[in-house]
Amino acid sequence: QKEVEQNSGPLSVPEGAIASLNCTYSDRGSQSFFWYRQYSGKSPELIMFIYSNGDKEDGRFTAQLNKASQYVSLLIRDSQPSDSATYLCAVNMRAGGTSYGKLTFGQGTILTVHP
């Protein structure tokens, strides 16, 4: 089982729709969770992070975390063609007594928003 799993997609949604991106992780002790966006040929850039169960909203983006189910998701409301990119889920895996372990990334989900 991969440590962080994402559906590779591609996920295609029409402009204005809600895009839902999902991620599961294997380490129940994971502490912090991140969503990055990567445009083709560019480096990943941070969209959001979440540490606590529940929802966290930032503009058109909502991150949802369910630690019991080991599941984190990203919702993009009113999707725009400019949202077309690869979305990477990253999880801070435990590291034996230290406060933070290394971030582990999923393989990414390709999102295409069509006009």
For binding to other proteins (CB under 8 A), which residues are involved? Answer: 32, 34, 42-46, 49, 51, 88, 90, 92, 98-100, 102-108
Identify which of residues 5 and 17 has a Cβ nearer to other proteins in the complex: 5
Identify which of residues 44 and 62 has a Cβ nearer to other proteins in the complex: 44
CB of residue 113 to other proteins, shortest distance in Å:
20
The total of other beta-carbon atoms located within 10 Å of residue 97's CB is: 6
Asked if residues 19 and 11 have their Cβ atoms less than 8 Å apart, the reply is yes
CB of residue 33 to other proteins, shortest distance in Å:
11
Identify which of residues 89 and 113 has a Cβ nearer to other proteins in the complex: 89
Distance CA 37, CA 2 (A): 20
Burial class (CB in 10 A: 0-12, 13-18, 19+), 107: middle
